Structure 1
Amino acid sequence: MKSREAGVISEFRMITATSEKDASRFVKKYKTLEAALDGFYNDPSSASLSNGSGSNKGQEKKLGEIWEKYKDSSDPKLVKIDGTLAICEEIGVDPSSDPVLFCLAADLGSKVTGEWEKEPFVKGIASYPGNIDSLSSLKNYLPVLRKKLNTDPTYFKKVYMHTFTLAKGQDFGARTLQLDTALDLWTLFIPPALSSSPSALACSSDNRPPEFTEEEFDLWIEFMKKKGKAVSKDTWSLLVDFIRTIDKDFKEYDDEGAWPSTIDDYVDFVRTRRTSK
Structure 2
Amino acid sequence: MPLPGSKSREASIIADFKSISGASEKDASRFVKKYKTLEASLDAYFNDPSSINGGTSTPSKGQEKKLGEIWEKYKDPSDSKLVKIDGTLAICEEIGVDPSSDSVLFCLAADLGSKVTGEWEKEPFVKGIASYPGNIDSLSSLRGYLPNLRKKLNSDPEYFKKVYMHTFTLAKGQDFGARTLQLDTALDLWSLFIPPALSSSPSALSRTSDNTPPQFTETEFALWLEFMKKKGKAVSKDTWSLLVDFIRSIDKEFKEYDDEGAWPSTIDDYVDYVRTNRSSN
Q: Deviations over 1:70-126 (max 9, x none)?
A: 000001100000000000000000000000000000000000000000000000000
- Residue number in structure 2 paired with 1:225: 229
User: What amino acid maps onto 1:218 in structure 2?
Assistant: A
Q: Which has the larger Rg?
A: 2
Size of the aligned set, in residue pairs, is 228
- Residue number in structure 2 paired with 1:88: 92
- Residue number in structure 2 paired with 1:174: 178
- Residue number in structure 2 paired with 1:105: 109
2:233 counterpart SS class: coil
- Residue number in structure 2 paired with 1:69: 73
**Residue 206 of structure 1: how far off its partner (Å):** 1.1
- Residue number in structure 2 paired with 1:266: 270
Percent of pairs with identical residues: 87
Which residue among 133, 145, 148 is the counterpart of 1:129? 133
Residue 216 of structure 2 corresponds to residue 197 of structure 1: no
Matches for 1:226-265 after TM superposition, within 5 Å: 226-265=230-269
**Residue 144 of structure 1: how far off its partner (Å):** 0.2
Residue 138 of structure 2 corresponds to residue 144 of structure 1: no
Q: Which of the pair has the greater relative contact order for Cα pairs under 8 Å at 6+ separation?
A: 1
1:257 counterpart SS class: coil
Q: Distance in 2 between matches of 1:170 and 1:151?
A: 30
**Residue 52 of structure 1: how far off its partner (Å):** 6.3
User: What amino acid maps onto 2:160 in structure 1?
Assistant: F
2:114 counterpart SS class: coil
Q: Distance in 2 between matches of 1:75 and 1:206?
A: 50
**Residue 163 of structure 1: how far off its partner (Å):** 0.2
TM-score normalised by L of structure 1: 0.81
The CA RMSD measured in Å over matched residues stands at 0.8
User: What amino acid maps onto 1:273 in structure 2?
Assistant: N
TM-score normalised by L of structure 2: 0.80
- Residue number in structure 2 paired with 1:118: 122
Report if aligned partners of 2:207, 2:249 keep a CA contact under 8 Å in 1.
yes
Report if aligned partners of 2:49, 2:133 keep a CA contact under 8 Å in 1.
no
**Residue 130 of structure 1: how far off its partner (Å):** 0.4
1:101 counterpart SS class: helix
User: What amino acid maps onto 1:182 in structure 2?
Assistant: A
List runs of 5+ in structure 1 lacking aligned partners: 1-49
- Residue number in structure 2 paired with 1:154: 158
Matches for 1:39-78 after TM superposition, within 5 Å: 51=48, 54-78=58-82
Report if aligned partners of 2:242, 2:263 keep a CA contact under 8 Å in 1.
yes
Q: Deviations over 1:202-258 (max 9, x none)?
A: 001111000000000000000000000000000000000000000001011000000
Q: Distance in 2 between matches of 1:117 and 1:240?
A: 30
Q: Distance in 2 between matches of 1:228 and 1:263?
A: 14
Which residue among 214, 219, 242 is the counterpart of 1:215? 219
User: What amino acid maps onto 1:191 in structure 2?
Assistant: P
Q: Distance in 2 between matches of 1:271 and 1:85?
A: 44
Q: Distance in 2 between matches of 1:257 and 1:58?
A: 53
